Chains A and B, each alone.
Chain A
Amino acid sequence: MGYKEIPFEVMHPGEFYYELLVSGRLKIDPAKKIKEPVTLHDPCNVIRRAGAAEKFRYIVEQTCEDFREMYPNREHNFCCNAGGGLSSLVQWYSHEARGNRVKAEQIMATGAKIVIVPCHNCTTGIKSIINYYKLPVKTMFFDELLVNTMYIPEEMLPEEG
Protein backbone atom coordinates (compact mmCIF):
# COMPACT_ATOMS: atom_id res chain seq x y z
CA MET A 1 0.00 0.00 0.00
CA GLY A 2 2.99 2.29 -0.03
CA TYR A 3 3.34 2.50 3.74
CA LYS A 4 5.70 0.17 5.51
CA GLU A 5 4.49 1.33 8.88
CA ILE A 6 0.79 2.01 9.17
CA PRO A 7 0.25 5.60 10.33
CA PHE A 8 -2.53 4.54 12.70
CA GLU A 9 -3.36 1.73 15.09
CA VAL A 10 -5.87 -0.90 13.96
CA MET A 11 -7.93 -2.42 16.74
CA HIS A 12 -11.00 -4.37 17.71
CA PRO A 13 -13.58 -2.35 19.71
CA GLY A 14 -12.96 -4.69 22.67
CA GLU A 15 -9.36 -3.50 22.83
CA PHE A 16 -10.48 0.11 22.56
CA TYR A 17 -13.12 -0.31 25.30
CA TYR A 18 -10.37 -1.79 27.46
CA GLU A 19 -8.32 1.36 26.95
CA LEU A 20 -11.32 3.52 27.83
CA LEU A 21 -12.01 1.54 31.01
CA VAL A 22 -8.38 1.38 32.16
CA SER A 23 -7.76 5.07 31.57
CA GLY A 24 -10.96 5.89 33.46
CA ARG A 25 -12.66 7.71 30.58
CA LEU A 26 -15.55 5.27 30.78
CA LYS A 27 -16.87 4.31 34.20
CA ILE A 28 -19.04 1.38 35.16
CA ASP A 29 -22.02 1.93 37.44
CA PRO A 30 -21.77 -0.78 40.15
CA ALA A 31 -25.55 -0.78 40.60
CA LYS A 32 -26.13 -1.68 36.95
CA LYS A 33 -23.76 -4.68 36.81
CA ILE A 34 -25.13 -7.83 35.16
CA LYS A 35 -26.26 -10.26 37.86
CA GLU A 36 -26.93 -13.32 35.71
CA PRO A 37 -24.14 -15.85 35.12
CA VAL A 38 -22.24 -15.00 31.94
CA THR A 39 -19.59 -16.71 29.87
CA LEU A 40 -17.31 -15.40 27.13
CA HIS A 41 -16.71 -16.79 23.67
CA ASP A 42 -13.23 -16.05 22.30
CA PRO A 43 -13.31 -15.15 18.59
CA CYS A 44 -10.43 -16.71 16.63
CA ASN A 45 -9.31 -13.59 14.84
CA VAL A 46 -8.80 -11.35 17.84
CA ILE A 47 -7.77 -13.97 20.38
CA ARG A 48 -5.70 -16.58 18.58
CA ARG A 49 -4.14 -14.19 16.08
CA ALA A 50 -4.12 -10.86 17.91
CA GLY A 51 -3.93 -11.97 21.56
CA ALA A 52 -6.60 -9.79 23.14
CA ALA A 53 -7.79 -12.46 25.59
CA GLU A 54 -6.86 -10.73 28.86
CA LYS A 55 -8.28 -7.38 27.72
CA PHE A 56 -11.64 -9.00 27.01
CA ARG A 57 -11.65 -10.69 30.40
CA TYR A 58 -11.00 -7.34 32.06
CA ILE A 59 -14.10 -5.83 30.42
CA VAL A 60 -16.28 -8.77 31.42
CA GLU A 61 -15.03 -8.80 35.00
CA GLN A 62 -15.69 -5.06 35.31
CA THR A 63 -19.27 -5.29 34.04
CA CYS A 64 -20.54 -8.67 35.26
CA GLU A 65 -20.79 -10.12 38.74
CA ASP A 66 -20.81 -13.83 37.92
CA PHE A 67 -18.31 -14.63 35.15
CA ARG A 68 -17.67 -18.29 34.33
CA GLU A 69 -14.90 -19.46 32.00
CA MET A 70 -15.57 -21.94 29.24
CA TYR A 71 -13.14 -24.79 29.00
CA PRO A 72 -10.96 -24.77 26.86
CA ASN A 73 -10.61 -21.01 26.70
CA ARG A 74 -8.41 -18.17 25.44
CA GLU A 75 -6.33 -19.22 22.42
CA HIS A 76 -7.41 -22.84 22.86
CA ASN A 77 -11.08 -21.98 22.33
CA PHE A 78 -13.21 -23.81 19.80
CA CYS A 79 -14.33 -21.90 16.73
CA CYS A 80 -17.93 -20.65 16.52
CA ASN A 81 -18.21 -22.67 13.28
CA ALA A 82 -19.35 -19.66 11.28
CA GLY A 83 -15.85 -18.55 10.37
CA GLY A 84 -14.29 -18.80 6.95
CA GLY A 85 -17.47 -17.54 5.27
CA LEU A 86 -19.80 -20.23 6.62
CA SER A 87 -21.90 -17.56 8.33
CA SER A 88 -23.41 -16.56 5.00
CA LEU A 89 -24.26 -20.07 3.76
CA VAL A 90 -27.97 -20.32 4.54
CA GLN A 91 -28.41 -23.72 2.87
CA TRP A 92 -25.77 -25.21 5.15
CA TYR A 93 -26.96 -23.89 8.53
CA SER A 94 -28.03 -27.26 9.96
CA HIS A 95 -24.87 -28.89 8.64
CA GLU A 96 -22.92 -26.13 10.35
CA ALA A 97 -24.79 -26.56 13.66
CA ARG A 98 -24.32 -30.35 13.63
CA GLY A 99 -20.62 -29.74 13.15
CA ASN A 100 -20.30 -27.82 16.39
CA ARG A 101 -21.78 -29.94 19.13
CA VAL A 102 -18.65 -29.38 21.24
CA LYS A 103 -19.38 -25.67 21.47
CA ALA A 104 -22.94 -26.37 22.64
CA GLU A 105 -21.62 -28.77 25.29
CA GLN A 106 -19.00 -26.22 26.30
CA ILE A 107 -21.62 -23.48 26.79
CA MET A 108 -23.99 -25.76 28.71
CA ALA A 109 -21.19 -26.95 31.03
CA THR A 110 -20.69 -23.41 32.33
CA GLY A 111 -24.34 -23.04 33.35
CA ALA A 112 -24.34 -19.46 32.06
CA LYS A 113 -27.47 -17.67 30.90
CA ILE A 114 -25.70 -15.11 28.69
CA VAL A 115 -22.89 -15.80 26.23
CA ILE A 116 -20.90 -12.68 25.46
CA VAL A 117 -19.82 -12.91 21.83
CA PRO A 118 -17.74 -9.92 20.76
CA CYS A 119 -17.93 -10.72 17.02
CA HIS A 120 -20.76 -10.47 14.50
CA ASN A 121 -19.63 -13.52 12.63
CA CYS A 122 -19.41 -15.63 15.78
CA THR A 123 -22.86 -14.44 16.87
CA THR A 124 -24.29 -16.01 13.72
CA GLY A 125 -22.58 -19.28 14.55
CA ILE A 126 -23.55 -19.32 18.24
CA LYS A 127 -27.16 -18.39 17.38
CA SER A 128 -27.44 -21.28 14.95
CA ILE A 129 -26.21 -23.66 17.66
CA ILE A 130 -28.69 -22.16 20.14
CA ASN A 131 -31.54 -22.63 17.66
CA TYR A 132 -30.52 -26.12 16.60
CA TYR A 133 -29.87 -27.60 20.06
CA LYS A 134 -32.48 -25.38 21.83
CA LEU A 135 -30.03 -24.01 24.39
CA PRO A 136 -31.52 -21.79 27.15
CA VAL A 137 -29.00 -18.98 26.63
CA LYS A 138 -28.83 -15.69 24.78
CA THR A 139 -25.97 -13.86 23.09
CA MET A 140 -24.74 -10.36 23.87
CA PHE A 141 -22.23 -7.96 22.34
CA PHE A 142 -19.75 -5.78 24.21
CA ASP A 143 -21.55 -2.63 23.05
CA GLU A 144 -24.86 -3.80 24.56
CA LEU A 145 -23.03 -4.80 27.75
CA LEU A 146 -21.36 -1.41 28.13
CA VAL A 147 -24.40 0.68 27.18
CA ASN A 148 -26.40 -1.14 29.85
CA THR A 149 -23.79 -0.87 32.60
CA MET A 150 -21.86 2.37 32.01
CA TYR A 151 -22.18 5.38 34.29
CA ILE A 152 -23.91 8.25 32.48
CA PRO A 153 -23.38 11.72 34.04
CA GLU A 154 -26.53 13.64 35.06
CA GLU A 155 -26.03 16.43 32.55
CA MET A 156 -25.99 14.00 29.64
CA LEU A 157 -29.42 12.57 30.35
CA PRO A 158 -32.24 14.11 28.28
CA GLU A 159 -34.74 16.42 29.95
CA GLU A 160 -38.19 15.11 30.81
CA GLY A 161 -40.96 15.76 28.31
Chain B
Amino acid sequence: MAIKLEISEEKEVYRSSYFPEYVRPKIYDPGLDETIKRLTPEKIEKAYQAVFGKETARIKAIVETCIHCGLCAEACQWYLSNDRDPTYAPVAKVKMTAWELMKRKGKVDAGLVYDIARIVFTECNICHRCSLYCPFGLDITFIIGLVRRFCFLLGVVPQRMFDQNQTFMATANQVWMSQSDYIDTLFWREEEGMYELKNLRIPMDKEGVEVVWFPLAAEPKTGPYHIDRIAKIFQVAGVDWTMVTMNDYWDSSNMPMFIRDFFTMQRIVKGLYENAARLRAKKLVLTE
Protein backbone atom coordinates (compact mmCIF):
# COMPACT_ATOMS: atom_id res chain seq x y z
CA MET B 1 0.00 0.00 0.00
CA ALA B 2 1.70 3.19 -1.14
CA ILE B 3 0.92 6.50 0.50
CA LYS B 4 1.95 9.73 -1.18
CA LEU B 5 3.26 12.17 1.37
CA GLU B 6 2.93 15.21 -0.90
CA ILE B 7 -0.86 15.14 -1.13
CA SER B 8 -1.29 14.35 2.52
CA GLU B 9 0.34 17.48 3.96
CA GLU B 10 -2.73 19.66 4.24
CA LYS B 11 -2.21 23.41 4.19
CA GLU B 12 -5.76 24.57 4.86
CA VAL B 13 -7.01 24.67 8.42
CA TYR B 14 -10.47 23.87 9.71
CA ARG B 15 -11.67 25.85 12.74
CA SER B 16 -14.78 24.79 14.58
CA SER B 17 -17.35 27.52 15.21
CA TYR B 18 -18.46 25.81 18.41
CA PHE B 19 -15.12 25.00 20.02
CA PRO B 20 -12.40 27.65 19.46
CA GLU B 21 -9.62 25.25 20.50
CA TYR B 22 -10.65 22.58 17.94
CA VAL B 23 -8.31 23.35 15.04
CA ARG B 24 -7.51 20.63 12.51
CA PRO B 25 -6.13 20.31 8.97
CA LYS B 26 -8.88 20.46 6.40
CA ILE B 27 -9.51 17.06 4.80
CA TYR B 28 -12.18 16.75 2.14
CA ASP B 29 -14.49 13.81 2.64
CA PRO B 30 -17.74 13.82 0.64
CA GLY B 31 -19.41 11.71 3.29
CA LEU B 32 -19.05 14.54 5.81
CA ASP B 33 -18.84 17.74 3.74
CA GLU B 34 -21.71 17.00 1.37
CA THR B 35 -24.16 15.26 3.68
CA ILE B 36 -24.29 18.05 6.27
CA LYS B 37 -25.82 20.31 3.60
CA ARG B 38 -28.94 18.13 3.59
CA LEU B 39 -29.56 18.40 7.33
CA THR B 40 -32.40 20.37 8.90
CA PRO B 41 -32.88 21.12 12.64
CA GLU B 42 -35.94 18.84 12.69
CA LYS B 43 -33.96 15.90 11.30
CA ILE B 44 -31.20 16.41 13.84
CA GLU B 45 -33.62 16.60 16.74
CA LYS B 46 -35.42 13.47 15.56
CA ALA B 47 -32.14 11.53 15.43
CA TYR B 48 -31.20 12.89 18.84
CA GLN B 49 -34.52 11.72 20.30
CA ALA B 50 -34.06 8.28 18.78
CA VAL B 51 -30.62 7.77 20.36
CA PHE B 52 -30.47 9.89 23.52
CA GLY B 53 -34.20 10.58 24.02
CA LYS B 54 -34.77 7.92 26.64
CA GLU B 55 -31.74 8.93 28.78
CA THR B 56 -31.23 5.39 29.98
CA ALA B 57 -29.56 4.64 33.29
CA ARG B 58 -26.42 3.52 31.49
CA ILE B 59 -25.93 6.86 29.72
CA LYS B 60 -26.75 8.79 32.89
CA ALA B 61 -24.38 6.72 34.99
CA ILE B 62 -21.49 7.41 32.64
CA VAL B 63 -22.19 11.09 32.13
CA GLU B 64 -22.89 11.89 35.80
CA THR B 65 -20.12 9.79 37.35
CA CYS B 66 -17.28 11.29 35.31
CA ILE B 67 -15.27 13.71 37.46
CA HIS B 68 -13.09 15.09 34.63
CA CYS B 69 -9.88 13.81 36.22
CA GLY B 70 -8.24 13.39 32.83
CA LEU B 71 -6.56 10.06 33.55
CA CYS B 72 -8.02 8.74 30.31
CA ALA B 73 -6.05 11.36 28.36
CA GLU B 74 -2.73 9.69 29.18
CA ALA B 75 -4.13 6.42 27.86
CA CYS B 76 -5.08 7.69 24.41
CA GLN B 77 -2.56 7.35 21.59
CA TRP B 78 -4.13 10.30 19.76
CA TYR B 79 -3.46 12.57 22.73
CA LEU B 80 0.10 11.33 23.24
CA SER B 81 0.99 11.49 19.54
CA ASN B 82 -0.31 15.01 19.01
CA ASP B 83 1.95 16.61 21.64
CA ARG B 84 -0.64 16.27 24.40
CA ASP B 85 -3.24 18.41 22.67
CA PRO B 86 -6.19 18.42 25.13
CA THR B 87 -8.79 18.29 22.33
CA TYR B 88 -7.64 14.74 21.57
CA ALA B 89 -8.27 13.46 25.11
CA PRO B 90 -11.11 10.91 25.45
CA VAL B 91 -12.91 13.10 27.99
CA ALA B 92 -12.78 16.02 25.55
CA LYS B 93 -14.16 13.81 22.79
CA VAL B 94 -17.13 12.92 24.98
CA LYS B 95 -17.54 16.52 26.13
CA MET B 96 -17.56 17.90 22.60
CA THR B 97 -20.01 15.27 21.32
CA ALA B 98 -22.48 13.62 23.70
CA TRP B 99 -22.44 16.27 26.45
CA GLU B 100 -22.84 19.09 23.97
CA LEU B 101 -25.81 17.32 22.38
CA MET B 102 -27.42 16.56 25.72
CA LYS B 103 -26.82 20.10 27.01
CA ARG B 104 -28.57 21.55 23.97
CA LYS B 105 -31.25 18.82 23.93
CA GLY B 106 -30.46 18.07 20.28
CA LYS B 107 -31.24 21.61 19.11
CA VAL B 108 -28.01 22.09 17.15
CA ASP B 109 -27.09 23.05 13.60
CA ALA B 110 -25.21 21.17 10.90
CA GLY B 111 -21.84 22.71 11.83
CA LEU B 112 -21.80 20.90 15.15
CA VAL B 113 -22.84 17.65 13.50
CA TYR B 114 -19.76 17.93 11.27
CA ASP B 115 -17.49 18.40 14.29
CA ILE B 116 -19.13 15.52 16.09
CA ALA B 117 -18.87 13.17 13.13
CA ARG B 118 -15.23 14.09 12.60
CA ILE B 119 -14.40 13.44 16.25
CA VAL B 120 -16.18 10.12 16.64
CA PHE B 121 -15.29 8.62 13.26
CA THR B 122 -11.74 9.79 12.65
CA GLU B 123 -10.24 10.50 16.09
CA CYS B 124 -11.35 7.50 18.11
CA ASN B 125 -10.55 3.84 17.45
CA ILE B 126 -12.89 2.40 20.09
CA CYS B 127 -9.86 0.53 21.46
CA HIS B 128 -11.07 0.62 25.10
CA ARG B 129 -7.68 1.66 26.47
CA CYS B 130 -9.21 4.71 28.17
CA SER B 131 -11.73 2.56 30.07
CA LEU B 132 -8.80 0.53 31.39
CA TYR B 133 -7.34 3.63 33.05
CA CYS B 134 -10.60 5.24 34.21
CA PRO B 135 -10.79 5.16 38.05
CA PHE B 136 -14.51 4.30 37.77
CA GLY B 137 -14.12 2.00 34.79
CA LEU B 138 -16.61 4.04 32.77
CA ASP B 139 -17.28 2.69 29.31
CA ILE B 140 -16.29 5.76 27.31
CA THR B 141 -16.45 3.90 24.03
CA PHE B 142 -20.12 3.12 24.63
CA ILE B 143 -20.85 6.86 24.47
CA ILE B 144 -18.73 7.20 21.32
CA GLY B 145 -20.72 4.32 19.84
CA LEU B 146 -24.00 6.04 20.63
CA VAL B 147 -22.82 9.21 18.94
CA ARG B 148 -21.77 7.15 15.93
CA ARG B 149 -25.30 5.77 15.84
CA PHE B 150 -26.65 9.34 15.93
CA CYS B 151 -24.42 10.30 12.99
CA PHE B 152 -25.39 7.17 11.08
CA LEU B 153 -29.11 7.98 11.44
CA LEU B 154 -28.36 11.39 9.91
CA GLY B 155 -26.21 9.83 7.17
CA VAL B 156 -23.17 11.90 8.18
CA VAL B 157 -20.56 9.15 7.92
CA PRO B 158 -17.15 9.19 6.15
CA GLN B 159 -17.76 8.12 2.59
CA ARG B 160 -15.72 4.92 2.56
CA MET B 161 -17.35 3.62 5.73
CA PHE B 162 -20.83 4.24 4.37
CA ASP B 163 -19.88 2.71 1.05
CA GLN B 164 -18.65 -0.45 2.73
CA ASN B 165 -21.81 -0.63 4.76
CA GLN B 166 -23.88 -0.53 1.60
CA THR B 167 -21.66 -3.22 0.08
CA PHE B 168 -22.52 -5.39 3.06
CA MET B 169 -26.23 -4.69 2.60
CA ALA B 170 -26.06 -5.77 -1.03
CA THR B 171 -23.61 -8.69 -1.01
CA ALA B 172 -22.98 -9.61 2.66
CA ASN B 173 -19.24 -9.13 2.16
CA GLN B 174 -17.13 -6.02 1.89
CA VAL B 175 -15.67 -6.40 -1.61
CA TRP B 176 -18.64 -7.10 -3.95
CA MET B 177 -17.57 -10.70 -4.39
CA SER B 178 -20.14 -13.08 -5.83
CA GLN B 179 -20.53 -16.69 -4.79
CA SER B 180 -19.14 -18.01 -8.08
CA ASP B 181 -16.07 -15.78 -7.82
CA TYR B 182 -15.48 -16.98 -4.31
CA ILE B 183 -15.69 -20.68 -5.20
CA ASP B 184 -13.46 -20.09 -8.20
CA THR B 185 -10.83 -18.38 -6.01
CA LEU B 186 -10.80 -21.31 -3.60
CA PHE B 187 -10.26 -23.80 -6.47
CA TRP B 188 -7.46 -21.62 -7.83
CA ARG B 189 -5.69 -21.45 -4.47
CA GLU B 190 -6.02 -25.21 -4.05
CA GLU B 191 -4.36 -25.71 -7.43
CA GLU B 192 -1.55 -23.26 -6.62
CA GLY B 193 -0.89 -24.81 -3.22
CA MET B 194 -0.56 -28.33 -4.65
CA TYR B 195 2.92 -27.47 -5.95
CA GLU B 196 4.13 -26.93 -2.41
CA LEU B 197 2.19 -29.54 -0.47
CA LYS B 198 1.08 -32.90 -1.85
CA ASN B 199 -2.70 -33.34 -2.34
CA LEU B 200 -3.58 -30.02 -0.75
CA ARG B 201 -7.34 -29.73 -0.29
CA ILE B 202 -9.57 -26.80 0.55
CA PRO B 203 -12.77 -28.51 1.72
CA MET B 204 -16.08 -26.74 1.09
CA ASP B 205 -19.33 -27.16 3.05
CA LYS B 206 -18.25 -30.36 4.76
CA GLU B 207 -20.50 -31.41 7.64
CA GLY B 208 -19.49 -32.51 11.13
CA VAL B 209 -16.04 -30.95 10.96
CA GLU B 210 -13.79 -29.82 13.77
CA VAL B 211 -13.23 -26.29 12.44
CA VAL B 212 -15.15 -23.90 10.22
CA TRP B 213 -12.85 -21.16 8.99
CA PHE B 214 -14.36 -17.84 7.91
CA PRO B 215 -11.98 -15.59 5.95
CA LEU B 216 -11.96 -11.83 5.66
CA ALA B 217 -13.43 -10.80 2.32
CA ALA B 218 -10.18 -9.03 1.45
CA GLU B 219 -8.38 -12.40 1.54
CA PRO B 220 -9.93 -13.98 -1.56
CA LYS B 221 -9.94 -10.55 -3.21
CA THR B 222 -6.52 -9.01 -2.56
CA GLY B 223 -4.54 -11.44 -0.40
CA PRO B 224 -5.35 -14.91 -1.74
CA TYR B 225 -2.06 -16.36 -0.39
CA HIS B 226 -3.64 -16.36 3.08
CA ILE B 227 -6.07 -19.08 2.03
CA ASP B 228 -3.46 -21.60 0.92
CA ARG B 229 -1.28 -20.81 3.95
CA ILE B 230 -4.18 -21.69 6.25
CA ALA B 231 -4.91 -24.79 4.18
CA LYS B 232 -1.26 -25.91 4.47
CA ILE B 233 -1.16 -25.42 8.23
CA PHE B 234 -4.42 -27.32 8.73
CA GLN B 235 -3.37 -30.12 6.37
CA VAL B 236 0.01 -30.60 8.07
CA ALA B 237 -1.65 -30.58 11.51
CA GLY B 238 -4.32 -33.01 10.30
CA VAL B 239 -7.26 -30.78 11.16
CA ASP B 240 -10.67 -31.69 9.78
CA TRP B 241 -11.83 -28.30 8.52
CA THR B 242 -14.04 -26.61 5.98
CA MET B 243 -14.88 -23.30 4.37
CA VAL B 244 -18.44 -22.14 3.71
CA THR B 245 -19.64 -21.44 0.17
CA MET B 246 -23.29 -22.50 0.30
CA ASN B 247 -24.62 -18.97 0.68
CA ASP B 248 -23.28 -15.43 0.86
CA TYR B 249 -22.44 -15.39 4.56
CA TRP B 250 -18.74 -16.18 4.75
CA ASP B 251 -17.10 -12.80 5.40
CA SER B 252 -16.12 -12.47 9.04
CA SER B 253 -15.40 -8.73 8.99
CA ASN B 254 -18.33 -6.72 10.20
CA MET B 255 -18.00 -3.13 9.02
CA PRO B 256 -21.65 -2.17 9.83
CA MET B 257 -20.68 -2.56 13.47
CA PHE B 258 -18.37 0.44 13.27
CA ILE B 259 -21.11 2.82 12.20
CA ARG B 260 -23.68 1.08 14.42
CA ASP B 261 -26.01 -0.09 11.68
CA PHE B 262 -27.58 -2.70 13.91
CA PHE B 263 -29.79 -4.26 11.27
CA THR B 264 -27.04 -5.15 8.79
CA MET B 265 -24.72 -6.05 11.65
CA GLN B 266 -27.04 -8.68 13.07
CA ARG B 267 -27.75 -10.06 9.59
CA ILE B 268 -24.05 -10.80 9.10
CA VAL B 269 -23.57 -12.36 12.52
CA LYS B 270 -26.72 -14.42 12.19
CA GLY B 271 -25.64 -15.67 8.77
CA LEU B 272 -22.22 -16.79 10.01
CA TYR B 273 -23.72 -18.38 13.08
CA GLU B 274 -26.35 -20.33 11.16
CA ASN B 275 -23.80 -21.58 8.65
CA ALA B 276 -21.55 -22.90 11.39
CA ALA B 277 -24.49 -24.44 13.23
CA ARG B 278 -25.76 -26.12 10.05
CA LEU B 279 -22.38 -27.74 9.46
CA ARG B 280 -22.33 -28.91 13.12
CA ALA B 281 -18.83 -27.52 13.64
CA LYS B 282 -17.09 -27.82 16.98
CA LYS B 283 -15.03 -24.66 16.54
CA LEU B 284 -15.52 -21.49 14.57
CA VAL B 285 -12.22 -19.86 13.68
CA LEU B 286 -12.37 -16.34 12.29
CA THR B 287 -9.48 -14.90 10.36
CA GLU B 288 -6.54 -13.03 11.90
Give chain A's interface residues, CB within 8 Å of chain B: 1, 3, 6-14, 16-17, 20, 25-26, 44, 48-49, 75-86, 88-103, 118-120, 124, 127-128, 131-132, 141-144, 146-147, 150-153, 155-159
Contact digits for B250-268, partner A, Cβ 8 Å, 1 yes 0 no: 0001010011000000000
B198 and A156 contact, CB distance less than 8 A = yes
Instruction: Assess whether A120 is in contact with B285, with CB atoms less than 8 Å apart.
Output: no
Q: Chain B's interface: helix, strand, loop or mixed, by majority?
A: mixed
Q: Give Cα A152 to B196, complex, Å.
A: 11
Checking B29, B258, B259, B288 against A141 with a beta-carbon cut-off of 8 angstroms, the contacting residue is B288
**A83 and B126: CB pair below 8 A?**
yes
- B270 & A156 in contact (Cβ 8 Å cutoff): no
The interface of chain B, by Cβ under 8 A from chain A, is 1-3, 5, 8-10, 25, 27-29, 77-78, 80-82, 88, 121-129, 132, 158-161, 164, 194-198, 211-213, 216, 218-219, 226, 229-230, 232-233, 235-239, 253, 255, 258-259, 269-270, 273, 276-277, 281-288
30 inter-chain pairs at a CB distance below 8 angstroms, sorted by A residue, are A1-B269, A8-B281, A9-B283, A9-B284, A13-B287, A16-B211, A16-B285, A17-B233, A26-B233, A26-B236, A44-B127, A77-B129, A78-B77, A80-B125, A83-B127, A84-B258, A85-B161, A85-B258, A85-B259, A89-B122, A91-B158, A92-B27, A94-B3, A95-B25, A95-B27, A99-B78, A143-B229, A146-B229, A151-B236, A158-B194
A91: chain B residues at CB < 8 Å are 27-29, 158-160
Q: Which residue of B lies closest to A15 (CB)?
A: B285
Return the 7 tightest CB-CB contacts between A and B, nearest first: A94-B8, A85-B258, A79-B127, A83-B125, A101-B81, A84-B126, A143-B229
- From the candidates B125, B129, B288, name the one contacting A12 in the complex (CB within 8 A): B288
Are A48 and B236 within 8 A (Cβ)? no
Contact status of A49 and B161, CB under 8 A, knowing A9-B284, A14-B288, A95-B25: no
With A and B bound together, what is the CA distance between A6 and B126 in angstroms? 26
Cβ of B245 to closest chain A Cβ, rounded Å:
19
Q: Which residue of B lies closest to A75 (CB)?
A: B132
- Give every chain A residue within 8 A of B3 (Cβ-Cβ): 93-94, 97, 128, 131-132
Chain B residues whose CB sits within 8 angstroms of the CB of A77 once the complex forms:
129
Cβ of A82: which chain B residues have Cβ within 8 Å of it?
125
Distance to closest chain B CB from A52 (angstroms): 12
Expressed in whole angstroms, the Cα–Cα distance for A86 and B8 within the complex equals 16
Q: How far is the CB of B278 from chain A (nearest CB, A)?
A: 11
Q: Hey, which chain B residues are within 8 Å of A10, CB to CB?
A: 283-284, 286
Instruction: Give complex CA distance A142, B286 in Å.
Output: 13
A109 to B: closest C-beta gap in Å = 14
The answer to whether A8 touches B129, judged by C-beta atoms less than 8 angstroms apart, is no
Which of chain A's residues have a CB closer than 8 A to the CB of B78? 81, 99-100
Residues of B within 8 A of A78 (CB): 77, 129
- Chain B contacts for A151, CB-based, 8 A: 236
How distant is the Cα of A156 from the Cα of B197 in the complex, in angstroms?
6
The residue in chain B whose Cβ has the minimal distance to the Cβ of A93 is: B3
The answer to whether A99 and B81 have CB atoms under 8 Å apart is yes
Do A92 and B122 have beta carbons less than 8 Å apart? yes
**How far is the CB of B148 from the nearest CB of chain A, in Å?**
9
Known contacts A25-B237, A95-B122, A88 near B1 by CB under 8 Å: no
